[in-house]
Every structure is written in C-alpha cells, then in structure tokens.
Amino acid sequence: MTADIAAAARFLAASGRVLDRRRFDRLFAGAPAGPVIAAVAAYRNEDGGFGHGLEPDGRTPGSQPAAVQLALRVLDQADAWDEDLVAGALDWLERTAPAEGGTPFVLPNVDGWPHAPWWQPEADLPPSLITTGAITGTLHARGVDHPWLDRATAWLWSRIDGLGAVGPYDVRGVFAFLDHVPDRERAEKAVVDVGAVLFDAKLVAVDPDAAGEVHGPLDYAPLPTSAARALFDDATIAAHLDRLAAGQEEDGGWTFNWPAWSPAAEADWRGCLTVDALATLRAAGSG
C-alpha cells in the first residue's frame, strides 16, 4: 500500500503547524532548507535551548530536553542542519546536565504551564534514556564533537551494559543511540542484547493490528538503516509498513495511539506524525 501525498499536503495545510508544513515542503516538494531552519529557530530561547510547545506535550516557554531532541531531529531529517542552532543547544545541554551526564526527561520549568500528565520531573533530575539516547543519536549521525556528547555517550554505554527494567520509550531512546554511535562493533552486540530485553519484557507488538498504546517494530526501527531492523524479519516489517500506509485517515493525516490530553497537542502531534509516516514509507519504497 502507498500513501496519498496530495491528501497529506492538504491535511497539513488545513491543520498542521508551520514547522511541519516546512518539513513536508523540504522533504517532498524540494523546498530549500532555510524555511525549516527558520521554523525551528522560532522555538529557540535566549539560553540556546528550545521550548514554546515545540514538543507538543510540553507547552512551557522554557527550554526542555524533549524540545531540544525534536529540534535536532527535524534539522537532521530535513537536511537543514544549522551549526549556530546546534551549538546553542549543546551549550544549553552542557549547562543543565546532571552530574552523571546526559539530560533529564523533563525539567521543573514545566510546572504552571499546560503539559501532558506524564510530563513529570523526577526527583533529583536524573538523566533519561529517552531524551539522552535520541539526542546523542542525532548528534553522532552528524559527526558532532562536544564535551556534552562525550559524557552522554559514556553514560549511555554504562546504562546499556546493565540494562534493567525499562519501558518502551527508554528502549526507543537506546536504539536511536545505537543507530549512529561510532563504535559499530559494540553497537551491533548491544542491539542483540537490548533486543532480548525488548522481547522478554513484551515491549513490542509484532501483530500490526494490535490495539491500544502499543509500540511496533517501526517505532524502534523506522528506517531500513535502523540498527533494530535486524531484530525483525522482512515479512513483519512489510506487514507493519502496510498497516502504516492504511493508517492514513480520510482527512489525509495520521493519528496516534496514546491519550490526547489537549486539542492543541493532538493537532500538533498529528501534523508531526504525518510527516514522519510519509518519510518512513518513502524510505521503505512504499510512499
């Protein structure tokens, strides 16, 4: 099955935020990188971090790790990498890092602002596999050199080597890191070990029609080059790609399987995930 690109474009024009319309234009209409950079920069703070609802679940204007993660991912995905934006984000990460390295999941400046109920700062603000893994993966993909990245990488390896009880989003962060960390021999071994955790803890829904807030193979391995693709056979991936294509709704967009806690967050996520779905299908040759 394939996606209806024109319908997705109409959905984004009607309901998507400027950021995701610019992403779509860059990825599917040959638009230049500048508008993507400008759209990301609109969410930047003077401290170099990102906030203002860039990550739809946190509507605080203050800088948040998840917003930095999404900013860097967008710049990388759209091949709109901007050294100034990245340098500012890295300096912010360095200033706000826990003693162990990395970055927390949520910072306390979310208090008093609308946010998803699961956006709760942890006591003592420990580093998070979710945000630290995704951010380091993107930075390694771009060949970045920075003290924060060195410390975050060391912390991630220490956690992966003794990975205990984790949730699906933790594992997604770990795989994002393993996709691009330079030590490929160590990464390939870790993929097997983390994969065992993934299946033993039943954190992946192999059935493409599984209902509820589940995480399928494409959540862990969205691209043919994803390290976790080795954990799934071709038939399983093909079935999930078909299911992803079939998930395009009548209005042209995609939706999600976790709770929609506000209309604004729901609309923002749908636009974001619509572009991601199209990118995943195109990379697989199904778009």
Domains, the chain, ordered by start: 5-283 (1.50.10.20)
pTM: 0.97
3-state secondary structure (DSSP) of residue 17: coil
Question: What is the structure's pLDDT at 162?
Answer: 87
Nearest to 164 by CA among 205, 129, 197, 131: 197
Question: What is the structure's pLDDT at 287?
Answer: 59
Number of Cβ within 10 Å of residue 87's Cβ equals 13
> Exposure of 31 by Cβ count < 10 A (0-12 exposed, 13-18 middle, 19+ buried)?
middle
Q: What is the CA radius of gyration of the chain?
A: 18
Question: What is the structure's pLDDT at 164?
Answer: 87
Each residue's pLDDT tens digit in the chain (287 positions)?
Answer: 689 999 999 999 999 999 999 999 999 999 999 999 999 999 999 999 999 999 999 999 999 999 999 999 999 999 999 999 999 999 999 999 999 999 999 999 999 999 999 999 999 999 999 999 999 999 999 999 999 999 999 999 999 998 989 999 999 999 999 999 999 999 999 999 999 999 999 999 999 999 999 999 999 999 999 999 999 999 999 999 999 999 999 999 999 999 999 999 999 999 999 999 999 999 999 65
Question: What is the structure's pLDDT at 286?
Answer: 67
Question: What is the structure's pLDDT at 1?
Answer: 63
What is the C-alpha to C-alpha distance for residues 186 and 157, in angstroms, rounded to an integer? Answer: 9
Backbone angles phi, psi at 196, to 5 degrees: -65, -40
Backbone angles phi, psi at 44, to 5 degrees: -80, 145
Strand partners, 58: 115
Sorted by sequence, the CB contacts under 8 Å of residue 237 that are 6+ apart come out as: 217, 218, 221, 229, 284
What is the C-alpha to C-alpha distance for residues 27 and 229, in angstroms, rounded to an integer? Answer: 23
At what angle are helices 65-77 and 34-41 packed, to 10 degrees?
Answer: 180
Q: In this structure, are residues 98 and 126 in contact, taking their beta carbons and an 8 Å threshold?
A: yes
What is the C-alpha to C-alpha distance for residues 50 and 57, in angstroms, rounded to an integer? Answer: 13
> Exposure of 141 by Cβ count < 10 A (0-12 exposed, 13-18 middle, 19+ buried)?
middle
At what angle are helices 147-161 and 168-180 packed, to 10 degrees?
Answer: 120
